[in-house]
Structure 1
Amino acid sequence: MSKTMKASLKARYEADKAAAAATVAANAGDLRLRASMTDATVVNGPSLNGLVLAVEKPGSFIIDYNVPKKDFRFQFTETVRVADKRLNLMYIHSKGDNRTILDGTLVFDSANKVSANHVLGSGNCKLKYSYVHAGLTTFEPSYDFAKNSWDFAVSRKVYGDDVLRAAYQTSSKHLALEWSRKSTFNGSFKVSASVNLADEQKTPKLTAESIWDFEM
């Protein structure tokens, strides 16, 4: 008998606070039922704070319901062929703030792809190019039309499943470094540091995050 229920637990640690989140998912035919909660759901007694329920058909749609906010979020995905290239389309709509996001990624080959992200009615559009060199190093320059600025990111696989990543936002002069690993014990962890180079003190912010996956 195949296992149809999965759970994950995420813990996040920062210098001044800690947080946790949990997700339980079960398959129901072609659909996937999911419930996620944060530490706000269980601290000081059970509550609806941080509770999100979802119905998902992988590769097709996701419907999220934020219980405390009584807010729906719809996400639809579709893949089409354009000149023998794969175009991945995504439509996201949040009912509460009436915000609609269109996202598209054109895959030229296994190493090159271009993606665009646009928030309807905002004039905000982001364009990103991704290039994977030798299957190990990924370069991701992106341009934010609203901010009229470039962002740059580079990541590299090391020691098998380890990934080192650096990202820089030119508009805010924000520099972020990250080290992540997929654990052999059904989980992963990530350590990151970020600093605002425009800040006189340039105090780095350190964050550690761990995720454990379980099958039931």
Structure 2
Amino acid sequence: MKATLKTKYDADKSGAASTLAVNAGDVKLRASITDATIINGPSLNGLALSVEKPGFFIVDYNVPKKDLRFQFMNTVKVAEKPLNLTYIHSWADSRTILDGTLVFDSANKVSANHALGSGNCKLKYTYVHEGATTFEPSYDVAKNSWDFAVSRKVYGDDVFKATYQTTSKVLGLEWTRNLKSSGNFKVVASVNMADESKRPKVTAESTWNFEV
């Protein structure tokens, strides 16, 4: 079987998290822990379990909160174009989210995200230029605001991404390196342009693939 180990460190919160995923036939079993799980002895704090069948469903269980989260995926054809649909429901707060992505071609797609009962809808357009640069403007209907993201592949396996949120004036920078079969690592930094007193937030994440 193949397994994946993901670790994440948040410098702002001085915390770390790890996720172990194992492929078992058609499904993937995943367990996630945080530093709260092992500090002062093993506990259920920060422990989450999930079962996933890629492209069909994901069931997440937050152990300390006793909260279930269901996610179902399907694809239908609209004017001969694939429409990817996702239904997400959180048991504890009875929140349901609908997400849809209409793929026009390999370079263009439109996405919509709506939380039922909230009156809010987020729209996003994705354009990939020459397979290397991706532009993603998005619009939040409730906030009447735009967010922007630009990413570009460099040196073959590296991706640099910049994001900007107009309402919060937060600028984000992200660097991801694909280590091919062994995994990848990612560094994310964000800074609040409206408040210079706030220090930048930095997180680092690494993913390793191995045989078990």
TM-score normalised by structure 2 residue count: 0.93
After TM superposition, the runs of 4+ consecutive aligned structure 1 residues lying more than 4 A away are: none
Judge conservation of contact 1:105–1:114 (CA < 8 Å) in 2.
yes
Per the TM alignment, residue 202 of structure 1 is displaced from its structure 2 partner at its CA by: 5.8
Aligned: 1:193 with 2:189 = yes
Q: Give the alignment partner of residue 26 of structure 2, picking from 13, 30, 47.
A: 30
Using the aligned pairs only, state the percent identity.
68
What letter matches 1:193 in structure 2?
A: A
1:149 corresponding residue in structure 2: 145
Q: C-alpha separation between the residues in 2 aligned to 1:56 and 1:192?
A: 26
Q: C-alpha separation between the residues in 1 aligned to 2:198 and 2:19?
A: 33
2:55 corresponding residue in structure 1: 59
Per the TM alignment, residue 66 of structure 1 is displaced from its structure 2 partner at its CA by: 1.1
> Cα–Cα, structure 1 residues 15 and 100, in superposed 2: closer, same or farther, change >3 Å?
closer
Alignment coverage as a number of residue pairs? 212
Q: C-alpha separation between the residues in 2 aligned to 1:83 and 1:99?
A: 31
Judge conservation of contact 2:31–2:48 (CA < 8 Å) in 1.
yes
> Cα–Cα, structure 1 residues 11 and 185, in superposed 2: closer, same or farther, change >3 Å?
farther
Q: Give the alignment partner of residue 138 of structure 1, picking from 134, 137, 142.
A: 134
Q: C-alpha separation between the residues in 2 aligned to 1:5 and 1:200?
A: 45
1:107 corresponding residue in structure 2: 103
> Cα–Cα, structure 1 residues 203 and 35, in superposed 2: closer, same or farther, change >3 Å?
closer
Per the TM alignment, residue 177 of structure 1 is displaced from its structure 2 partner at its CA by: 1.0
Q: C-alpha separation between the residues in 2 aligned to 1:19 and 1:147?
A: 32
Deviations 1:45-101 (A, max 9, x none): 111112122222221111111111111100000000000100000000000011000
Q: Give the alignment partner of residue 117 of structure 1, picking from 107, 113, 120.
A: 113
